Amino acid sequence: MLAVLVLGIVWLVITGDDSGTPADEPARDAVVVAPTGLTVTPTPGGDQLAWQGDAGDSYIVTVLSPAEPPQALPAAPGLSALVPNAGTSAPGQRCYTVAVAPSEAGGQPGPASDPACPPGVSPASMMPAP
């Protein structure tokens, strides 16, 4: 019985306790949550978007349109963006979502916010993703 106990202690000392992350391993990424409070304010130059999130993150805005498939814009830092009307087939009729951009190349963006639209526009009228 004593031999089994000694072997168990030796086993723990040699292999260690795996309850924590070793110092030489990077910490696991924190859970990424979707931005909240997305608002759309139409302006003469386009739609002004604003949302709540971590000001240190970059975000991907996805433009939803009734005439075109969803289009993700390049990631940019900040908690607001102006999406110009120029070159769009449906000015004033677009909806948007926002997601935290991936922290590394090839990574996946975080979950998207709920869609937000200008007054009088419904996300149900937008073209679905292909």
- What confidence tens digit (pLDDT) does each residue in 60-112 have? 999 999 989 999 999 999 999 999 988 777 778 899 999 999 988 888 999 99
Q: What is the pTM of this model?
A: 0.74
Amino acid identity at 70: P
Is pLDDT at 14 greater than 60 in this prediction?
Answer: no
Q: What pLDDT is recorded for position 90?
A: 72
Q: What is the CATH number of the domain that holds 57?
A: 2.60.40.10
Full domain range(s) for residue 55: 36-84+92-122
Q: What pLDDT is recorded for position 3?
A: 44
Q: Which helix (H) or strand (E) holds 7?
A: helix 2-15
Q: How many domains does the chain have?
A: 1
Looking at every residue in the chain, the average pLDDT score rounds to: 81
Residue 1 lies in a domain: no
